[in-house]
Structure 1
Amino acid sequence: MKKRWLGYASVLAAASTSTGCASTDGFHVKEVGSFHTGGTQVSLAGLPEREIRLTPSAPPMKVNPNGEFDTGQVYVQYVKLATPRARYPLLMWHGGGLTGVTWETKPDGAPGWQQYFLKQGHDVYVSDAVERGRASWSRYPEIFTSEPFFRPKHEAWEGFRIGPTYDRDPAKRVAYAGGQFPTHAFDQFTRQGVPRWATNNAATQAAYDALVAKVCPCVIVVHSQGSAFALQASLNAPGKVKGIVAVEPGGAPDPATVDLSASKNVPHLFVWGDNLAGNDGWTKLRAAPDRYRAALLAQGGTADLLDLPARGIRGNSHMLMMDRNSDEVASLIQAWMAAKGLMKQ
């Protein structure tokens, strides 16, 4: 099967030859754009005015925080190809404490999965979820009902399975033997971190559902925390989601409380990296997506597993789209999509 997947990837690597459009390395772009979707309007009243200086040399001015505000929207940047070879656009959803930068240029400067899948012939939509990046924050506690929390660097190093021991001195950090994450670029990676809230799940699901309604039919490639939203979005919009690639999923709907019939004909691929064995935190996190996958299989659905170490691919971190061998992993995903009929013949 591995040879078959890699064969698909090599065949599909040929570049588009359309003319009359902006050309980059290996693909021709028809359009680059962005939009916000989802969200609601809220009104605030009774809050006190404040006096601030907008720049150090500016005169003081009063700011009135009362009025109408938009909240709960998702931001999306898209790149459309002149001649896409995929049947459906590819939506890329990030994980917790992160933004769509996850899929862009890697921390070590190498091209990321956004560019990889553009070269394979996909229109690509990269989003910033509610509360993240260019989707924007909202005032709290008046709109967001809790304060944000932030991921310290040691949590990213150890929790993302880059290494067992973090130190503020890079020379003293201990990485896993054979690890694929470019540890010299770790401090560049942690600059991507953004605050997150624990009270916006419903708003995030609603915004992603609005995105699916606007853009799809589509295929979703999703990472970590975002997996719960993608799997639920497929259930909420039968026929709209044509495939899901859940990369190290950090959650999933409970099959004991939801009807999976809307998604059982949607091909699913669950992708896992290395150094999970014996990790109590990841054993607990993996339980929900494993139950979901088992329930899909029990209903006769397609829920494939890409266990990288089982295929002899070792050392991948939780951020495997940023690892040194990320193109090898992406090629397996690309070949899987081709095998599931998600590419044009």
Structure 2
Amino acid sequence: MSRLPSVRSLVAALAFGGLGFAIPAVAEEPALEIVGMGSFHVGGRLAEVSGQPPRDIVFTPGAPPARIDPNGLYAVEQMYAQWFKPRTERGRVPILLWHGGGLSGVTYETTPDGREGWVNWFLRRGWTVYNSDAVERGRSGWASPDVWPAPALHLPVGNPFERFRIGQGEGSYSHDPAKRRVLPGNQFPTEAYDQFPRQLSPRWTTTDQPTIAAYIALVDKVCPCVIVFHSQAGQFGFRVAQARPDKVMALVAVEPSSVGDPARVDVLKAVPTLMLYGDFIEQDPRWPTIRRTGIGFAERIRAAGGHADVVDLPAAGIRGNSHMIMMDRNSSEVAQVIQTWLQQKGLWR
């Protein structure tokens, strides 16, 4: 399979006027000034529960019981979104941040070691930002087992350490931080790792279609836009763009673990796409296959007449990234790669 352009040829192509590109040095942070923020829910449906017996519930110790009839209509499969508007808007459209599996919008807020996340980074540069919790995550809420009969997947605290290319694979996690085996040169703030699993959410494997429907509802409400999506949201980002190609100005796929519908890839030919991959991929049993799938989808976009760039960060001199790129110590450098690419696409003024 032929490779897409190397990152060095890609970053040269990203330059204005074709003069060559270098990742800018980190300058003084622009001021963080917002003139508005808020939140809302979109999507979802009403689901009916019937045939369940009423129960008497004591909600507060010492209070009399309340009779609760669980039968009736329930609001389910809605999605929570929070927005922030900067004082000076420089992004021509908003940026939507979509998180990965078993996570929530916390992914983009504050890093485990307390640094500002990508919400603030893009706000500082004049983008209106929408950060969301996908269906069945965080503030979006859950449905009862009468509505979602499949069990939720819960991850033990060591699973992301071993699976997200932070540690040296299976068996590298220990409850004793001194015994954890970290990949040499890894940029994840491992001294604060124990903060990371505290943000894990239950994950269902049967809610992909409701999630796509809710993301489409979000796009219909707030776009045209740029969508930045991570990991599990790979299929959501690409499939929503395939459903609403006129509303999505660009896609930024951060280590997507899945892709869109190959049979409809031609729909994306007018939607420029950037894919980013971190380090240590060849040392992991799963990630070479995942990356090949992503690169193959990018090649399909290009074959259909579209524009898709793939950046291997280590080849660009940005080394040590785990799967949680937006939490790594060098996350600002990666954000700058995204920013420069979006500027080249004419989406920032």
Aligned match of 1:295:
300
Q: Deviations over 1:313-339 (max 9, x none)?
A: 211000010001111111111111101
Contact in 2 for aligned 1:5/1:331 (Cα 8 Å): no
In structure 2, C-alpha distance between the alignment counterparts of 1:281 and 1:59, rounded to whole Å: 54
The alignment partner of 2:270 has SS state of: coil
* 5+ long unaligned stretches in structure 1: 16-25
Aligned match of 2:17:
none
Q: Identify if the C-alpha distance between structure 1 residues 132 and 39 changes in structure 2 by more than 3 Å, giving closer, same or farther.
A: same
What does 1:202-281 align with in structure 2 at a 5 Å threshold? 202-255=209-262, 258-281=263-286
Aligned match of 1:190:
197
- Quote the offset at 1:56 in angstroms: 2.5
| Count of aligned residue pairs for this structure pair | 329
The alignment partner of 2:252 has SS state of: strand
What does 1:127-166 align with in structure 2 at a 5 Å threshold? 127-140=132-145, 142-164=146-168, 165-166=172-173
The AA in structure 2 aligned to 1:52 is I
TM-score, length basis structure 2? 0.91
Aligned match of 1:84:
89
- Quote the offset at 1:8 in angstroms: 10
In structure 2, C-alpha distance between the alignment counterparts of 1:252 and 1:272, rounded to whole Å: 14
What does 1:69-80 align with in structure 2 at a 5 Å threshold? 69-80=74-85
The alignment partner of 2:80 has SS state of: strand
The alignment partner of 2:199 has SS state of: coil
- Quote the offset at 1:7 in angstroms: 4.6
Aligned match of 2:325:
320
- Quote the offset at 1:289 in angstroms: 1.8
Aligned match of 1:200:
207
- Quote the offset at 1:212 in angstroms: 0.6
In structure 2, C-alpha distance between the alignment counterparts of 1:153 and 1:285, rounded to whole Å: 23
State yes or no: 1:169 paired with 2:176.
yes
Contact in 1 for aligned 2:239/2:261 (Cα 8 Å): no
The alignment partner of 1:297 has SS state of: helix
The AA in structure 2 aligned to 1:155 is N
The alignment partner of 2:282 has SS state of: coil
Q: Identify if the C-alpha distance between structure 1 residues 149 and 14 changes in structure 2 by more than 3 Å, giving closer, same or farther.
A: closer
Contact in 2 for aligned 1:86/1:122 (Cα 8 Å): yes
Q: Deviations over 1:227-256 (max 9, x none)?
A: 11010111101210000110011100241x
Higher mean Cα deviation, 296-305 or 268-277? Answer: 296-305
Contact in 2 for aligned 1:72/1:130 (Cα 8 Å): yes
Contact in 2 for aligned 1:217/1:242 (Cα 8 Å): yes
State yes or no: 1:6 paired with 2:11.
no
State yes or no: 1:334 paired with 2:339.
yes
**Percent of aligned pairs sharing the same letter:** 47
Aligned match of 2:6:
none
- Quote the offset at 1:170 in angstroms: 1.4
Q: Identify if the C-alpha distance between structure 1 residues 231 and 172 changes in structure 2 by more than 3 Å, giving closer, same or farther.
A: same
Contact in 2 for aligned 1:117/1:124 (Cα 8 Å): yes
The alignment partner of 1:126 has SS state of: strand
Contact in 2 for aligned 1:145/1:199 (Cα 8 Å): no
In structure 2, C-alpha distance between the alignment counterparts of 1:312 and 1:50, rounded to whole Å: 61
The alignment partner of 1:158 has SS state of: helix
Q: Identify if the C-alpha distance between structure 1 residues 183 and 226 changes in structure 2 by more than 3 Å, giving closer, same or farther.
A: same
Aligned match of 1:23:
none
- Quote the offset at 1:83 in angstroms: 2.3
The alignment partner of 1:58 has SS state of: coil
Aligned match of 2:188:
181
Q: Identify if the C-alpha distance between structure 1 residues 50 and 86 changes in structure 2 by more than 3 Å, giving closer, same or farther.
A: same
Q: Deviations over 1:261-296 (max 9, x none)?
A: 221121111001000004221123223322211101
Q: Deviations over 1:209-241 (max 9, x none)?
A: 111111100000101001110101111012100
The AA in structure 2 aligned to 1:4 is F
Aligned match of 1:119:
124
Contact in 2 for aligned 1:9/1:334 (Cα 8 Å): no
- Quote the offset at 1:57 in angstroms: 2.9
Aligned match of 2:8:
none
TM-score, length basis structure 1? 0.92
The alignment partner of 2:192 has SS state of: helix
- Quote the offset at 1:207 in angstroms: 0.5
The AA in structure 2 aligned to 1:242 is M
The alignment partner of 2:205 has SS state of: coil
- Quote the offset at 1:9 in angstroms: 8.2
Contact in 2 for aligned 1:90/1:125 (Cα 8 Å): yes
Q: Identify if the C-alpha distance between structure 1 residues 273 and 14 changes in structure 2 by more than 3 Å, giving closer, same or farther.
A: closer
Contact in 2 for aligned 1:5/1:332 (Cα 8 Å): no
Q: Deviations over 1:152-180 (max 9, x none)?
A: 12210010110111011111111011110
Q: Identify if the C-alpha distance between structure 1 residues 104 and 120 changes in structure 2 by more than 3 Å, giving closer, same or farther.
A: same
Could you tell me which of 71, 74, 94 is aligned with 2:99? Answer: 94
